[in-house]
Structures are given as structure tokens and as C-alpha cells.
Chain A
Amino acid sequence: MTRVSEHLNRALHDLMEADPRVHLLGEDISDPYGGAFKVTKGLSTRFGRRVRSTPLSEGAIAGIGAGLALAGDRAIVEIMFADFAALAFDQLVNFAAKSTAMYGRKVPVPLVVRCPSGGNRGYGPTHSQSPQKHFIGVPGLSLFEMTPFHDAGELFALMFALEQPCLFFEDKVLYTRRRYEDGVVDDLFRYELTDGVARVFVDGVTEPDCTLIVHGGMTHRALDAMRALLMEEDVACELLVPARLYPLPTLPGLDRARHVCVVEDGSEGGTWGAEVARVLHPRLWSTLRRPISLISAADSVIPAAPHLEREILVQSGRIRHAVAEVLS
């Protein structure tokens, strides 16, 4: 069994081994510490000065990554907590993303900014956010997220091949979870990868009652809800987990969808889900039976105390009840 954090670590090792142009920058990423979430363990020992622990300077290290990329290399920048990507907003939005186009020709900027995101760990309001929504709709900036289905090495290759800055979100709880392999989730669910999107389904069910669309960090809560819906309410759901969040890739299997529900950890209002619905409504208008439902965290800061945090963030029970209610 491979945990997602170990899988990411291995992917970074392989990437740096295969491509001497790749640099890695971030706070406390060097050995023996190996990063706040241990995803960069062993890399500084193995790759020397291509891996640098940096001062607390999120804005500058994003810019330095862009500079390395501009100069012909490739950079991965780790922001210790996704919340602090806000400190790199200017470099990413006003420089890295714009520079790919604002000089009147295509300028390659192969830069990946890794952002450990998400809550349910009691870290409090400034260390728990899922800030994906703040970066959606920026020309020249793509958003990806780690999932338990995708191969991280392939995702890094894909992001670098775009030659434009990418944010790569990695849910902090997902780090601790097992990676799925060989098309099997568990006794009930199977999955397949189609055009970069993971589709999780119940074997033999071709016409699900509901299709859930989530980002990687929401996978397990969605699966828990799907299990309960199937076993206790006789509602069969299918789950789509794209690794690319923006721009949204073509999602498979939606033509038969009776109901679509997008679930996310970002706070309500101006959400990723709203963007998904914007893309899907025209495409599915003639086949949908009702509007796409959006489930997101409350319009709130994320409290530190677990009993309060739980209420604000989306839990499996809420997904289950929302789906059951809309279908009833």
C-alpha cells in the first residue's frame, strides 16, 4: 500500500532524476526535515543545490520559480500551507501567468506551485483553507489537484508540458490516505481513468441516479456518502474526479446523468463548483432534470476547534442528505 504523500515523494524523486532542469524551492523542504508534510524527504540529499530550503518569503520564491522557468529551467515551488499562496498572488497572477502572453508572443513559464490545502485537521483559520476558488479564471494560470487515483508523475509531466504556471493542490488529509490502484476502490466501487478524469462507479450500474463531481481532497467523503446512499437509500451514484480543476477538462459519462452535484471544500460563493456548473449547464441543458446542485463549505472562516470545524466543512453526511433530498 502506498500513501499519497509517499507516492508524491517518489514522483518528485523520479522527476528530478529524469530531468536535471527541475528545481525545487520551499520552506523547510531540505533533509532531515523534508518539508512540513514530509513530501520532499530525501530530495535535498540526493539532488543537492537543485533543492533549496528558502526563507519565509512566499512571494519571492514564487517569483524566483518564475525566473528559473523564464531562463529555461523548470521550477516546483512548495508553499507550506495553501493559505499562504495569497502571499504569492501577485507573482503568480500579475507576473507568471501574464508573462506567458503579455509580451505579444508565447513565453514558456514551466512553473508548478504545490499547495498543501484543506482542513479537518484542527489547524485553525489560517492553515486550513481550500483557496482554489481565488485562482480560478486567471488567464494563463491552470489549477490541478492531487487525487488518490492519478499518477503524480504524469500530472507533473502534464503541468510542465503546458509551459504555463500551474497551481497544484494537495489535500493534507489525502496525504495520509492510500492510493488506489488497478481500477479497484473497495468491495463496492471500481474506477477508470478517462482523459485524465477518474470515474468511480458501482460495477454493473450503467444509469446512476446521481453523478458527483469533486476535487481530489473530497474523494473519501464523497465515497462514504455514495456507500451510504447505495446501501441505505438505494441510490446509485457515480463519482468524477478531475485532476485538472481549471480550465475544466471534458468530463466523461455525463450524457446519461440524471442529476449532477458538485462538492467542494472551498467556502460558499464564487466557487469552483459554480465554474463547473457554468461549463456543464449549456452542455447538459437538454438532458438534465433539475439544476446542478452545489455543495461547498459554509461562508465562514474555518474554526480551530474540531467540533466547530466539522460543522463548517463539508462532511459525508451532508453530501448524503443533500443528494437524498434533491432526488426524493
Chain B
Amino acid sequence: MVVTAPIPPCLRQPPSPPPREDLELLLLIRHFELTLLRLFEAGELSGTTHTCLGQEYIPVALSPLLHDDDFVLSNHRGHGHFLARYTEPHGLLAEIMGREGALCAGVGGSQHVYHRRFLSTGVQGESLPVAVGVALKLTETGALTCAYVGDGTWGEGAVYEALNMARLWKVPLLVVVENNGIAQSTPTSAQMAGSIAARAAAFDIPHHRVTSTEVGEIRAELAPLLGVVRGESRPLVVEFVTHRIGPHSKGDDTRTPEEIALAAAHDWYARYARDFPEHFAALDLAARERVERIAAEVAARPPSVWERP
């Protein structure tokens, strides 16, 4: 099954540009990710990284819907999730580069960040049972646990064990599925039988599918649903139909040029650049320069120090 939006967002003409602060955050994440790929190419980063190019709008849309006391669990593709939750790009980049001021002393790196009420881990599927546990603790406090997972992660059995208990025990769990139609190199159609909607239905968990890439529209759709998660303490699965426009990690995109072009056609960045050129260009340049400064500043810091437990 190839999932595409009913009306390709590229054909929709939004009346006005997104609010300035949303666009600033979108662009911060975009340039943060592009900078990482550039640093890798220049040999200044080691290990691996998974950028969220094209998917930035998801955590940005969710950002004001989440409260301070909510808990966010993230995955390997988590830089955008983090920056939309806590706009601390210096700390995150220092973590990725192993420099002073790193969020987790440089031990976790790109995929393993625990900062305030945000935690990511690089083993797929592992986070959902943990999310249920955290949500259990938050039950009836009005706070919720938000767990980001990809479409491919639904291959792991732990996902289902967690959903079952989330519903049985009525915990305030928001599962955000970033369905970008691919897992590393494998299309969703080759790794998932049935659908995410039907999976949620099997556990009697409400499911909502988001095809818009406009943060304003998405918020309007989701705000009442999140109210139910908090107020009635029950799980919800929100599936975003989205597109990964970059490689899985770095330089490992084996999709055809047509497939990559199709993904790129959904990119908010190109759309805003086209539809609101003046408004966009100034903010884009500002974000690019801001991230360049951050990268230069963090790269010049001494290595992180770790007090081993």
C-alpha cells in the first residue's frame, strides 16, 4: 500500500504563511539537520545520524499542544522531536558532537537523549511499553505521554503488547506514528500487512489520520482529540502521512529518483519558499546563519566530560 495524501499538499494554496514562530522553528530544525549531514560529509561527525528532513512539521505542529508536564518518548529520528519540545540546539548539537554542554555528556549521542521530560532510544519498539509505564503514572493528572514511532516499528511485537495494556488500563498515551512509507530501505507495503488504523481498531483505540502538512490545520484537528486523551485518560493513535525527503541516515538512499522526487514534492520548505518568497527568504537566511553560528561555537568547545557511574 502506497500512502499518499488525498489532496497533495503541494497543490493546496494556504491563504497565509505559517505564524512566524512556527516557521522559525521549522527552519531551525531543517538547517540543524542539513548542518549535520554537512558535518558528516566533512568528517567532523562520527557514528551515524537520522535526519527528519521533510517531517519537521509534525513535532512543530504538536509543540503547543503538549504541556510542560507531558512526557515525550522519541526514537532514532528524534532531533526535530527534541528541538520542538525544548529549543536547545546548542545542547543537542554538543551531544551529537561530544562537546562540553552536551545534554547527556556525549554518552547517548544522536539517538539516546534524556533531557527534562524528553527521552529517546535507538532500539525500535522498546519505547512503547516504557511509554505505557510513564502514562500509567500520569493517569488522571491531566498530563499525557507522547511516543513517536515510525511505520516500520510496527513490526516489533512489543508495540502490540503495549497497546493492549494501554487500552486495558486506560492510560493517557498519545502514539504519534510518522508514516513516511518506508523503513530504512524497505517500503511500508513490503513490511506491513493491513493498516495502522485497523491495528488501533483491534485494540479499541481511536485512530486519527493526518494528511495535512500545515501546522495550523493539524493543530485544529488534534486539539480536541488530545483533550480526550487527557480528560478521559485513554490512548490515541495519530498517524501522520508524511514523507522522508532525505536518506535514512547518510548517503544510504536507494530509492529511485522518481520516488525521491515524489517525496520532495510534499516538502513544506519548497512550498513556503514558492508561495511566500519574501517572508520566507529572510527567515530562512536567519535560521541558516543561526545554525552556522551554533555549529561553529559548539565545534570549538572542548570534548565533553563524563562522570562514569
Q: Report if B156 contacts A (CB, 8 A).
A: yes
A306-B46, A307-B98 known; A56+B156 contact, CB < 8 A = yes
Chain A residue nearest to B102 in the complex (CB): A305
Q: Which residues of A contact B308 (CB under 8 A)?
A: 298, 300
Question: Max chain A CB contacts within 10 Å: which of B123, B157, B184?
Answer: B123
Question: Max chain B CB contacts within 10 Å: which of A32, A36, A124?
Answer: A124
- Contact yes or no, A304 B107, CB < 8 A: yes
- Contact yes or no, B186 A53, CB < 8 A: yes
In B20-56, the 8 Å CB interface with A consists of: 46-48
| Partner among A59, A127, A301, A304 whose Cβ is within 8 Å of the Cβ of B106 | A304
Task: State which of B60-68, B109-117, B200-208, B265-273 sits at the interface with chain A.
Answer: B109-117
Contact with B along A293-323 (1 / 0, CB 8 A): 0000010110111111000000000000000
Min CB gap A307→B, angstroms: 5
- Contact yes or no, B98 A55, CB < 8 A: no
- Contact yes or no, B98 A124, CB < 8 A: no
Q: Which residues of A contact B304 (CB under 8 A)?
A: 305, 307-308
- Contact yes or no, B157 A121, CB < 8 A: no
Task: Report how far A83 CA is from B122 CA in the complex, Å.
Answer: 11
A83-B123, A122-B47, A126-B121 known; A305+B109 contact, CB < 8 A = yes
A55-B192, A305-B106 known; A122+B46 contact, CB < 8 A = yes
Q: Report if B4 contacts A (CB, 8 A).
A: no
Contact with B along A44-66 (1 / 0, CB 8 A): 00000000011111111000000
Task: Report how far A36 CA is from B50 CA in the complex, Å.
Answer: 14
Task: Give the secondary structure class of B's interface.
Answer: loop
Min CB gap A122→B, angstroms: 3
- Contact yes or no, B152 A56, CB < 8 A: yes
Task: Report how far A291 CA is from B106 CA in the complex, Å.
Answer: 37
Question: Max chain A CB contacts within 10 Å: which of B97, B106, B153, B185?
Answer: B185
- Contact yes or no, B109 A122, CB < 8 A: yes
In B104-162, the 8 Å CB interface with A consists of: 105-112, 121-125, 152-157
Q: Report if A139 contacts B (CB, 8 A).
A: no
- Contact yes or no, A126 B122, CB < 8 A: yes
Q: Report if B276 contacts A (CB, 8 A).
A: no
Contact with A along B245-273 (1 / 0, CB 8 A): 00000001010000000000000000000
Q: Which residues of B contact A127 (CB under 8 A)?
A: 48, 111, 122
Q: Which residues of B contact A125 (CB under 8 A)?
A: 107-108, 112, 122
Min CB gap B163→A, angstroms: 16
Q: Report if A135 contacts B (CB, 8 A).
A: no
- Contact yes or no, B254 A53, CB < 8 A: no
Task: Report how far A34 CA is from B122 CA in the complex, Å.
Answer: 22
- Contact yes or no, A55 B48, CB < 8 A: no
Q: Report if B191 contacts A (CB, 8 A).
A: yes
- B interface, size bucket: 35 or more
Task: Report how far A32 CA is from B255 CA in the complex, Å.
Answer: 9
Q: Report if A27 contacts B (CB, 8 A).
A: yes
- Contact yes or no, B123 A84, CB < 8 A: yes
Min CB gap B185→A, angstroms: 4
Contact with B along A77-93 (1 / 0, CB 8 A): 00000011001000000
- Contact yes or no, A55 B122, CB < 8 A: no
Q: Which residues of A contact B218 (CB under 8 A)?
A: none
Q: Which residues of B contact A304 (CB under 8 A)?
A: 47, 98, 106-112
Q: Report if A123 contacts B (CB, 8 A).
A: yes
- Contact yes or no, A33 B108, CB < 8 A: no
Task: Report how far A304 CA is from B76 CA in the complex, Å.
Answer: 13
Task: Report how far A148 CA is from B112 CA in the complex, Å.
Answer: 32
- Contact yes or no, B107 A303, CB < 8 A: yes
Q: Which residues of B contact A53 (CB under 8 A)?
A: 185-186, 190-191
A127-B122, A306-B98 known; A55+B254 contact, CB < 8 A = no
Q: Report if A163 contacts B (CB, 8 A).
A: no
- Contact yes or no, B303 A126, CB < 8 A: no
Min CB gap A29→B, angstroms: 9
Q: Report if A28 contacts B (CB, 8 A).
A: yes
Q: Which residues of A contact B157 (CB under 8 A)?
A: 57, 59-60
In B172-215, the 8 Å CB interface with A consists of: 183-186, 190-192
A56-B125, A304-B112 known; A32+B254 contact, CB < 8 A = yes
- Contact yes or no, A301 B155, CB < 8 A: no
A to B CB contacts below 8 Å, 9 in the list = A27-B186, A54-B155, A55-B183, A56-B152, A56-B155, A124-B108, A126-B112, A300-B308, A305-B303
Apart from A127-B111, A303-B107, what are 4 other A-B pairs with CB-CB below 8 Å? A28-B183, A56-B183, A57-B155, A122-B48
Q: State the 6 A-B residue pairs at the shortest beta-carbon distance, nearest first.
A: A304-B109, A305-B98, A122-B47, A55-B155, A305-B106, A122-B46
Q: Which B residues are closer than 8 A to A by beta carbons?
A: 46-48, 97-98, 102, 105-112, 121-125, 152-157, 183-186, 190-192, 252, 254, 303-304, 306, 308
